[in-house]
Amino acid sequence: MKRKPIKINWDEIEAAFDNKREDLVYYLDLVTGQVVLEGEGEEADFEGDDDLLDDNGKENGPPREATTRRYIEPPDEDEETGWMESFLAEADDLDPALFAKLTEALDSPGPLNAFRDALRAEAEAEARDRWFLYRTERLHETVDAWLDANNVHAAEPPPWRS
């Protein structure tokens, strides 16, 4: 079924895919294009967002059925670890000592944190920037693939495609 294109807030959807908190769950409303947050702690994340409420403190607009929402599943630890491995495979010009530290980090328990810690402690700004750019590109590919898989048509292309 082809749906009408929806206006998507690209910063919000990117943040949803970058979500590391297991107590927060994000959905995309396929009618409004709104990124919906559910879970413990959501009130703290959106304090001051009173514009979503009417004068009686209720949400504006009719409630949406669950069938109009699609769960946004952020990349899991295995996928992000795969990104790190691919980054290292492509970054053959990194300082050998840094390369060794990052490779060692991937073999440790908790490779995501160990990799980031090694980047913070050992890497020059250029190497850190390269990793974060690489990771952002993988995240955008994940968003694009999810939109395609869920047959979501955006009214405007994401900023990373322009």
Residue 54, pLDDT score: 47
Query: What are 58-85's pLDDT values in tens digits?
Result: 454 444 555 789 999 999 999 999 999 9
CA-CA-CA-CA torsion for 45, 28, 17, 75, nearest 10 degrees?
130
Query: What are 87-141's pLDDT values in tens digits?
Result: 999 988 999 999 999 999 999 999 999 999 999 887 788 899 999 999 999 999 9
Can you tell me the mean pLDDT for 30-50? 68
pLDDT-derived band at 4, boundaries 50, 70, 90: confident
Global pTM reads: 0.79
- Asked whether the predicted pLDDT for residue 42 surpasses 80, the reply is no
Query: What are 119-130's pLDDT values in tens digits?
Result: 988 778 889 999
Residue 90, pLDDT score: 94
pLDDT-derived band at 161, boundaries 50, 70, 90: confident
Can you tell me the mean pLDDT for 17-27? 91
Whether the CB-CB separation of 108 and 83 falls below 8 Å is answered with: no
Name which of 1-10, 47-56, 150-159 the model is least confident about: 47-56
Residue 40, pLDDT score: 61
Query: Among positive and negative, which fits the CA dihedral 131, 132, 137, 141?
Result: positive
Instruction: Classify the phi-psi angles of 57: left when phi > 0, otherwise alpha if psi is within -120 to 50, otherwise beta.
Output: left
Better-predicted residue by pLDDT, 42 or 106: 106
List the one residue out of 104, 61, 59 whose CA is nearest residue 84: 104
